[in-house]
Amino acid sequence: MRTFAPSRSSERRVAVAGATGRMGRMLIEAMRDAPDCRLTGALAGSSALNQDAGAALGFETGVKVVSDLRAGLSGADVLIDFTHPERTLEHLAMCRALGVQLVIGTTGFNDAQKARISEAAQDVAIVFAPNTGVGINVTFELLALAAKSLSVGYDIEIIESHHRHKIDAPSGTALRMGEVVAGALGRNLKDCAVYAREGVTGERDPSTIGFATVRGGDIVGDHTVLFAGTGERIEITHKSSSRATYAHGALRAVGFLADKRSGLFDMSDVLGL
């Protein structure tokens, strides 16, 4: 087993999972101009195998796309993973064995899967965030403040929209919003979330937090938390027009991990919120 000691230099060696996907390509493009990150591994299982990781972007990285996990992680300090829960957990096991850190932006994990990530963090440093964008994490802070101030007399609904290819609902970001709001109100989201309404539902329970999901087109990600009172509505909205915001946030997380040997962190830690 390779023993990993986090690099103290200004440059971090980064592998990207799902390198040929939409988010993977955005990460590779962002790294092109990042002075403190260097692409050393590109993982995917597609027709792009053995091609340069930047081929679809119009530039060369000198790194070929591979499907072999151990080969893709060879020489990497950290793996950035925005794939699928099952695949991420496979990557997690190898990273733990090799001592490679992780930035996980994958969503859709169940509680047992999240527990496996927490366990692995005893051995390697991990940033685990449903959304790595800087703006959305500031929005979480605003939501906590709003929820505390609007705790009585306001019904709370969370509306999220994403592209047609997204496989989980509600989005991880929407769920995190719900957790933030519920926590500020002294509630547990599992006890008060309403994910669907149909038929004769009766009057709205004021202690609940409702979710509505929209899927269509190429929407990158829109999230709104509605506080609906009598005579007024307050809406806190965050809209993503490009995945670049997720990529740049993920690279900030890579830098944050440089002096970390183990532990589970989120973007609030990365941004010092």
Residue 84: active-site member:
no
Give the position of tokens 């670049």: 244
d(CA 269, CA 273): 7
Q: What is the widest separation between alpha-carbon atoms in the chain? A: 63
Give the position of tokens 């290819």: 165
Radius of gyration of the chain (CA): 20
d(CA 73, CA 188): 38
Annotated catalytic residue within 162, 223, 238, 248: 162
Q: How far is CA 92 from CA 43, 50, 96, 214, 220, in A?
A: 14, 23, 6, 31, 26
Residue 162: active-site member:
yes
The alpha carbon of 137 is separated from its chain's Cα centroid by a whole number of angstroms, namely 11
Annotated catalytic residue within 64, 84, 166, 260: 166
DSSP result, 198-238 = -S---SPPTT-EEEEEEE-TT--EEEEEEEE-SS-EEEEEE
**From the CB of residue 13, how many other CB atoms can be counted at a distance below 10 Å?**
18
Give the pair of three-digit tokens for residue 207.
Answer: 């202690």
DSSP result, 155-200 = EEEEEEEE-TT--SSS-HHHHHHHHHHHHHTT--HHHHEE----S-
Active site residues: 162, 166
